[in-house]
Amino acid sequence: MTATLNNVAEKADEQSAEGNAEGGAAQRHEGPHPGVDQLRALLVTAADDVRARLRDFSQRELLATCAAFRIGADDDSLAVVTRFALGELAQRALFLASGSSK
């Protein structure tokens, strides 16, 4: 997973550098990445405790943390369902960034 995270960061850096070289505006996050914008959009509506936990994470930390979320089958609270969705989006983003196909 570390190799995939490094790959994601390298692609984001390359895309950001290309945008800056072409006169593009600097972006708030580390660069465009499939799924990360969806993940951040879900965070906007997440419960306060979930938002607070993930608020200051870099793109790399956010992907790694969310991809590692594990939930109990017996808990269906909104926070748990949100963490499940965040985990699925993070795993999807990592999969897309790796360029792999199943």
> What does the pLDDT look like over 42-56, one tens digit per residue?
999 998 999 999 989
- The parent domain of residue 81 ranges over 2-98
The residue-averaged pLDDT of 49-72 equals 91
DSSP-derived secondary structure for 40-98: HHHHHTS-HHHHHHHTT--HHHHHHHHHT----TT---HHHHHHHHHHHHHHHHHHHHH
User: Quick check: helix, strand or coil at residue 18?
Assistant: helix
Number of domains in the chain: 1
Q: Which of 9-23, 36-50, 54-68 has the lowest mean pLDDT?
A: 9-23
- What residue type is 77 in one-letter code? S
Residue 27 has pLDDT above 50, yes or no: no
